Structure 1
Amino acid sequence: MPQTITVDGFTRYARVDRPDGSYRNMLVDNASLAALREDKPAEEMMILMESFSGDELTAIFVKRREAGRWTYGSIRRGEGMEAFRPNPPCATCHRAAGAGDGMFTRPMLDGFVKAGDVQRTFCDRSGRSPCSPDVYARTSR
């Protein structure tokens, strides 16, 4: 299994496996993680989603919250956050899927903050289709 491939300053909190053999590693920026561990709000949070097909990293999606609003986009492997490219349609999908504050994996992040173990779940859908919301509440370590 490949190691997490990201820019520095992030911690993996979850893995979401899919029926087509792909999976997603979910990472949160370390400053936000520290705030959440102290039961403080993380106002300027950043989440990375590394998308893998087998052992190959196929994409790194980014969502960052600034001033209470999420911005979605991507970077390429080996790029830093200065290469962030916004992609507004991502926000539409997150809102339409009922992702609460726009964060599908929030239950998994909360579980990681509480237990300290990377959370893992199996999505009921292939490709880039959002998982059913209850999938993220059913995690294992």
Structure 2
Amino acid sequence: MNINFFTPLSLFVFATTLWASSDTATERYGERFVAYAQVNRTDGTYRRMLTTPDVLETVQNGLPLPDGTRVLMETYYSEGEISTVFHKQKVDGRWQYGSFNGDVDLSTRPQASCLSCHAQAAETDFTFTRPALEGASQFGLSHFLCDKPGRAPCALEVYRRERTQ
């Protein structure tokens, strides 16, 4: 009798659990977040993108990002030191944005400056790193190189390229 204990879903859950328990996971923002992408910039700064494990599972099942989805972007201007954390949350089908340095504040609101910039990523649900998010459980933390300095957004093509590491 041949019994198959592993289904695609059970393998996905197992892989996600292993990956989410690695050093890419943190609870420093009041709940469990997992880093899925790091964007290195030519000026030596970098950004690390995080979301919750349930969002990873949703995306891996081919579903759109649901209300309640949170995406955090930690900015680093020197190695290992988080500067500002920018974040967004999907509320009633629309993205709201916020940021903080120091004390965690995950409150969000519609912000025209954020919305106008993220409009460039309309085809990926206003989420520049959506392609990296889709491959996160399969590849773990993906690294990308962006030639734009500071807060300028990288082109969507950056996240569709081969990972640098």
Normalised-by-shorter TM-score class: 0.7 to 0.9
Match of 2:152 in 1: 129
- The answer to whether residue 75 in structure 2 is matched with residue 75 in structure 1 is no
CA 1:4–1:26: 2 relative to 1, 3 Å? same
Residue 22 of structure 1 deviates from its aligned partner by 0.3
In the alignment, is the contact (CA less than 8 A) between 2:59 and 2:133 conserved in 1?
A: no
Whether the aligned pair in 2 keeps the contact of 1:124 and 1:135 (CA below 8 Å) is: no
Instruction: State the aligned residue count.
Output: 135
The structure with the largest helix share of the pair is 2
Work out the CA distance in 1 between the residues paired with 2:82 and 2:25.
Answer: 9
Distance in 2 (alpha carbons) for counterparts of 1:57 and 1:4: 15
Contact 2:89 2:108 in 1 (8 A): no
Hey, which of these two has a bigger chunk of strand by percent?
A: 1
State the Cα RMSD in Å.
2.1
Decide whether aligned partners of structure 1 residues 64 and 139 sit closer, same or farther in structure 2, where only a CA change above 3 A counts: farther
Which has the greater radius of gyration?
2
Contact 1:121 1:135 in 2 (8 A): yes
Q: TM-score, normalised by structure 2?
A: 0.72
Unaligned runs of 5+ in 2: 1-23
Tell me which amino acid in the other structure corresponds to 2:90.
R
Within 1, Cα distance between the matches of 2:130 and 2:60? 14
Partner Cα distance (1:43, 1:15) in 2 = 23
> Is it true that 1:15 corresponds to 2:38 in the alignment?
yes
2:141 to 115, 118, 125: 118
Instruction: Tell me the secondary structure at the aligned position of residue 21 of structure 1.
Output: coil
| TM-score, normalised by the number of residues in structure 1 | 0.83
Contact 1:124–1:132 (CA<8 Å) still a contact in 2? no
Counterparts of 1:103 and 1:90 in 2: how far apart (Å)?
11
CA deviation after TM superposition for structure 1 residue 4, in Å? 7.3
- The Cα offsets for residues 64-120 of structure 1, whole Å up to 9 and x where unpaired, read as 112210011113334153xx254611111111x24422100001111113x141111
* Unaligned runs of at least 5 residues, structure 1: none
Check conservation: 2:25, 2:33, Cα contact below 8 A: no
Cα shift at 1:30:
2.4
Following superposition, the deviation at residue 127 of structure 1 comes to 0.5
The residue number in structure 2 matching 1:32 is 55
Question: Aligned residues: percent identity?
Answer: 33
